[in-house]
A and B are shown apart, each in its own frame.
Chain A
Amino acid sequence: MEMSKYFLQNKSALLLALVILSVLILNSGAFAAASMNPMEQLQQSVNEILKILQSEELKRPENNEERKQRILNVVNSMFDFRKMARSSLGQSWNTLTPEEKDTFVGLSTSLVEQRYIGKIDSYDNQKVVYKKERVKDGRAIIYTDIIDKDLEIPIDYRLMENQGKWLIYDLKIENVSLMANYRRDFDSIIRKEKFSGLVEKITELVEKPETSN
């Protein structure tokens, strides 16, 4: 008997097949992240970054590019950069054309990456303590401490669930929210030099070779 005919004639077999199929799909790798709570997921990403940072092999000058790229790959999978770009502009976001928005997302992404990676990099042999998580309606806050030179530096993350994956959209380092800080910073430029001035300034900044530390 042909398969489709068999299913049409036997409804319970069809149901069974659907159940098996759905379980198989949900069990596949693509959905594995959904089963992880936000803290486990953050922990995994941060550990991955720390592993790259601490690798002696990658610390060699000739591997500099690869090291940077590998860190970037992890960071890119952790953050919701579009949401962050929108958040950092506040009201001004709505006045932009779609092309301007895309350009801006790219630019602000580089800026945030620079600051976050630079910060993490300076803690390359420090311990991270995951203190607490709060989860509510697809959003989460995770409280961590980095033990740096015998002091606890609090770093708190804000995450949002997006297609089964928890993405960071803001973080606080020692009580200072990255997004709130960039909002003030960007606003100070926009007021004087408009959006075009802001784009010019960020372009200049992210195209500058490595910072001087």
Chain B
Amino acid sequence: MLLLMAAFSWAGDVKHSSGDKQGEVSEIQAEKSLNDPGDNAWEEEGWEEEWEDSATIADPLEPLNRFFFHFNDKLYYWVLKPVARVYSGFFPEDLQIAIRNAFDNLRTPARAVSCLLQGRIRKSSEEVVRFALNSTVGIFGVGDFAKDVLGLYSSYEDLGQTFAFYGAGGGFYINWPFLGPSNFRDSLGMLGDAYLHPIILLDAEWGVIIGAWTFEKVNYTALTLGDYELFTETALDPYAAVKDAYQQYRNGLIENR
């Protein structure tokens, strides 16, 4: 008993003496019965012992999906990765980042529309400002001026998430050739988002569209070399692992923003 009391008084002392911010935060959280500002509302809700599994996703096309998974896997190792490696030799990382930003900037109109459809007026107008500034001051979007200077972050919204916002489930799993993992809902979303892409709005030829898409893909691969390998090589059934990762990733996006 005495030992316990000594322990408590000692622990109390340490907590009070650690004047740094983190110490204070943990103290507030430990004694949440005290004044609990709205900022700590999460204390009561959304706390689970573990991160739960996502619901099992229907996969009626599994044999076909597995075939295309294998196809994309070979495409990665035999074509995309070697090309991205050579590409990296010519384009330094800073340039790759600039190119990624420029392509990402072209998706801003679609993001603005999705925000609007979800009734997030403020976020939507931020996307409009981002597009206007980054396309001009940021020179065709190579620099993320809006984020770096004004602190306006991308919303990461898309039409698939908008459908989910209105209650649509993911539907069955689809592993597209070239495009990779998706589901029924997000595939429809992808199609809708594509119509709001400037390259489609400007009615470019198919050759240009495919060329641009390939360029973006190679650039992206160059920036993420090793990620795909690490994930699939530490999985026992890479197909099942990628399928689950896709679902968790999308659910996270839908819940978080």
Please list the residues of chain A having a beta carbon within 8 angstroms of any beta carbon in chain B: 15, 18-19, 22-23, 26-27, 34-35, 37-40, 87, 111, 114-115, 118-119, 122, 133-136, 139, 149-150, 158, 169-170, 172, 174-177, 179-181, 183-189, 198, 201-202, 205, 211-213
Contact = CB atoms under 8 A, between A and B. Distances in A.
B230 A170 contact: no
A202 B236 CA distance: 7
Interface residues of B, number: 51
Contacts of A181: 235, 241, 244-245, 248
A176 B256 CA distance: 13
A179 B2 contact: no
A182 to B, nearest CB: 8
Contact of A27 (B2, B10, B30, B252): B10
A145 B190 CA distance: 27
Interface of A is mostly: helix
A213 B237 contact: no
Contacts of B245: 176, 181
B214 interface: no
B25 to A, nearest CB: 7
A85 to B, nearest CB: 14
A187 B56 CA distance: 12
Contacts of B54: 180
B42 A134 contact: yes
Contacts of B42: 134
Given A18-B3, A176-B252, 5 more contacts: A118-B230, A174-B249, A180-B52, A186-B236, A212-B229
A58 B54 CA distance: 41
B240 A185 contact: yes
B223 interface: yes
A26 B50 CA distance: 31
A23 B9 CA distance: 10
15 contacts: A18-B6, A23-B6, A35-B11, A37-B26, A115-B231, A118-B234, A169-B50, A174-B252, A175-B253, A180-B53, A181-B245, A184-B244, A185-B237, A212-B233, A213-B226
Given A139-B49, A185-B240, A122 B6 contact: no
A115 B230 contact: yes
Interface in B115-174: 144
A179 B6 CA distance: 39
Interface of B: 2-3, 6-7, 10-11, 14, 18, 22-23, 25-26, 29-30, 42-43, 47, 49-54, 93, 96-97, 101, 144, 223, 225-227, 229-231, 233-237, 240-241, 243-245, 248-249, 251-253, 256
Q: Say what secondary structure dominates the interface of chain B.
A: helix
A185 B6 CA distance: 48
Given A149-B93, A175-B252, A188 B240 contact: yes
B2 A18 contact: yes
Contacts, number: 133
Nearest to B24: A37
Which 3 residue pairs are nearest across A and B when measured between Cβ atoms? A175-B252, A188-B240, A213-B226
Contacts of B235: 181, 185
Scoring B23, B51, B101, B244 by chain A CB atoms within 10 A of each residue's CB, the highest score goes to B51
Contact of B22 (A39, A87, A134, A183): A39
A158 B50 contact: yes
Contacts of A119: 230
Contact of A22 (B3, B14, B231): B3
A6 to B, nearest CB: 19
Given A114-B234, A213-B229, A180 B7 contact: no
A19 B97 contact: no
Nearest to B144: A150
A177 B241 contact: no
B148 to A, nearest CB: 9
A37 B226 CA distance: 34
Contacts of B14: 35
B220 to A, nearest CB: 11
Contacts of B96: 149
Contact of A133 (B6, B22, B249): B22
A184 B241 contact: yes
A180 B244 contact: yes
A37 B225 CA distance: 36
B3 A176 contact: no
